[in-house]
Structure 1
Amino acid sequence: MLSARKLLRAVVLVGLGIGLTVPAAAAQAEPSPSELTEQINKASTELEKVVESYNKLNEQLKQTKAASAALSAKMGPLETQLAQADAEVGEMAAVAYRTGQVGTASALLDGSGPLADRLGMLDQLARDRKRQLEGFTEAEQQFTEEKAKLDATQAKQTAQLKELAAGKKKIEGDLDKLYDMREEAYGSATSSGGGYTGSIPAISGKAGVAVRFAYNAIGTPYVWAAEGPDGYDCSGLTLAAWRAAGKSLPHNAAMQWDVVAHISRSSLQAGDLVFYSGLGHVAIYVGSGKVIHAPTFGETVKLSSVDMMSPYGYGRVR
């Protein structure tokens, strides 16, 4: 299939061949490089929001699955105890109150002591077991109800993930079209970037580990929903950098904002996180007014000014 630019050239050539004049407006109908860049940036921003929403739901789904698994682990022993208690109470009730097999009842009590005492002990034991069974039954009902809620939540989140995936696919399709135009205009659909070759600031502690990781990630491609080592999205990069330092962060910019300590611009130190675009983007501050971030589709992890966009806020990993 001919690209827009090639099709335009073909029309011009045909027009010249039959003596027609192509209007100047038609020759300028194709978007300019700056217009293409603006369209790509807009589509990328929209898609990044979808990706971060996908990441958030994926984190929530992980939590729901973990809670459901923990509940299921509790349910197994509880059900075993319930079955055992039910069998014991049923046996005692059958012996003492239905069958009248005093010999069997006596055997349960080692056959010692007056019969009235033994039956009294059996009755007390049965009532104790019954209370225990009732407690188990109440607990089982509570856990069953909670598990039903968790299952419903998990099903809802799974459905939402499918919806987000469908939205992502559409935007990526639109982005592919813009990349085709960018390739036609610039000769390449993506930007290339090499690794960092300068000196890495000497920063002590865990923040220093995170900052060094970020510097070493420069040049790595942006890959949606990825947390390395072959690609990163914005929150995946900050997650991976601090994971190297022994700290855990969720894979979502807004959720990272929720778990860090909020600080002022004047308190900003290397290793802190800088949030942008209504919590739709996040970067790691590396000092001297610079951040390292995974920008967007078609680009690579890079070193940028902290004011590359208007910051939403600043956070320190606890």
Structure 2
Amino acid sequence: MSLRALVLVAMAVVVAVPAGAASAEPSASELTTKINRSSAELEKVVEAYNKLNEETKATKAEAGKVQGRLAPLQQQLDAAQAEVGDIAVAAYQTGRLGTAGALLGDSSGLLDRMSALDALARERQTQIDAFQATREQLTADQQRLATARAQQDAQAKELQARKKKIQADLDKLYDLRKQAYGSSTSSGSAYSGKIPSVSGKAGVAVRYAYNAIGTPYVWAAEGPNGYDCSGLTLAAWRAAGKSLPHNAAMQWDQVAHISRSELAPGDLVFYSGLGHVALYVGGGQVIHAPTFGESVKLASVTMMTPYGYGRVR
């Protein structure tokens, strides 16, 4: 083939393939699918972060308890050690007196004196045993405290590393949202309708959730200016005087499991393999903190396939 023919073929190929075909922009639906998938994956990472944060709190609390026991134990140890010192002196003196009495006294009182010495020896041994037990307890608590503090330091480093990773992934997600919707976040508005009347503590939790509608999703937050999913259910029930951990799976472990037919306002509904949680408010609806870039909203209980249902005890 001549050079001229080759050039004509190449030009034909260029004309046949549009310039931007190889790098075509994804459609709005493709972007939405990608955003939803990325959001679901990132929410699992956030819930794992929340779980580690709860474990860190527990470690700190345990370290605090151990630290609180150390000073009294040290005082007991010092007192017991002083008693052991007194026992050593008394044992030496009593031993000498007892031997002299046994040698110089009359034979009729010998058994009584030996019995008294034996009772004294048993009492001293009890005090020495208590001293040993206190010392062992103090040593064990000191070791537990050292272990807890080492674990605490490791957890703090891991939390910081996860936080950086979440923020980096979140920046990418917000870029996708801006590309698809023109804005990285969607504004929400407060609920203006009538809040259902529910009695008791469940009613307090339900009212709290309704009043949180429109508040932005903020990962690892538990209000009042932002929430993630487990942070919202935690805050709603905290207002009602009940304590829940800041993690959906840990909340599932704490609540009483119920059936769909038993579902009542204030109960929790779990989704996504315990990766998401919402508060049931009656009428087949839940209130939840959906995902990044969105706000707390009212939704159908079947917005996703429920994993299970729980009642706060």
Give the TM-score band, short-chain normalised. Answer: 0.7 to 0.9
Q: Distance in 1 between matches of 2:85 and 2:114?
A: 16
- The SS at the match of 2:136 is helix
1:239: which partner in 2? 234
1:92–1:126 contact (8 Å) kept in structure 2: no
Alpha-carbon separation, structure 1, partners of 2:49 and 2:153: 11
Q: Secondary structure of 1:239's partner?
A: helix
Task: Select 2:72's aligned residue among 71, 74, 77.
Answer: 77
Alignment counterpart, residue 282 of structure 1, candidates 277, 280, 294:
277
Q: Secondary structure at the match of 1:312?
A: strand
Tell me the distance in 2 between the aligned counterparts of 1:118 and 1:69: 51
In the other structure, the counterpart of 1:296 is: 291
Identify the match of residue 35 of structure 1 among 30, 37, 56: 30
* Cα-to-partner distance string for 1:182-209 (whole Å, 9 max, x where unaligned): 3234221111101001111111111111
Number of the residue aligned with 1:6: none
Correspondence 1:199-238 to 2 at 5 A? 199-238=194-233
Of 245, 261, 264, 1:250 maps to: 245
Query: What SS does the aligned partner of 1:89 have?
Result: helix
Secondary structure class of the residue paired with 2:75: helix
* Range with bigger deviation, 249-258 or 80-89: 80-89
SS at match of 1:269: coil
Deviation at 1:316, TM superposition (A): 0.7
Relative distance call for 1:238 and 1:203 in structure 2 (3 A) is same
- Equivalenced residue count is 287
Kept in 2: contact 1:43–1:171 (CA 8 A): no
In structure 1, what is the Cα distance between the partners aligned to 2:144 and 2:90?
41
Residue 146 of structure 1, CA deviation: 5.2
Q: List gaps (5 residues or longer) in structure 2.
A: 1-14, 98-111
Amino acid at match of 1:249: L
Which structure has the bigger radius of gyration? 2
Matched AA of 2:213: I
Q: Residue in 2 aligned with 1:317?
A: 312
Q: Does 1:87 align with 2:82?
A: yes
Q: Which segment drifts farther, 125-134 or 285-294?
A: 125-134
Match of 2:123 in 1: 128
Give the structure-1-normalised TM-score. Answer: 0.79
Name the stretch that deviates more: 157-166 or 285-294: 157-166
Specify the alignment match of 2:101 in structure 1: none
Residues 136 and 291 of structure 1, relative CA distance in 2, 3 Å threshold: farther
Could you tell me how far 1:99 is from its partner in structure 2? 11
Shift in Å at residue 26 of structure 1? Answer: 2.9
Give 1:76 deviation, angstroms: 1.8
Residue by residue over 1:113-167, the C-alpha shift from the partner in whole angstroms, topping out at 9 and shown as x without a partner, is xxxx999978855652442232242244245335534643553364245335424
Find the partner of 1:169 among 164, 167, 178. 164
Q: Which letter does structure 1 place at the counterpart of 2:190?
A: G
The amino acid that maps onto 1:205 is: G
Superposition pairs of residues 111-126 of structure 1, within 5 angstroms: none
Offset of residue 59 of structure 1: 1.5
| 1:36-61 deviations in Å (ceiling 9; x for gaps) | 22222222212211111121122222
Specify the SS of the correspondent of 2:287: strand
Which residue is 2:260 aligned to?
A: 265
Partner of 2:277: helix, strand, or coil? strand
| Residue identity (%) | 68
- Correspondence list, 1:176-191, <5 A: 176-191=171-186
With structure 2 as the length reference, what TM-score do the two structures score? 0.81
Specify every segment of 5 or more residues in structure 1 that has no aligned partner in the other structure, as ranges. 1-19, 103-116
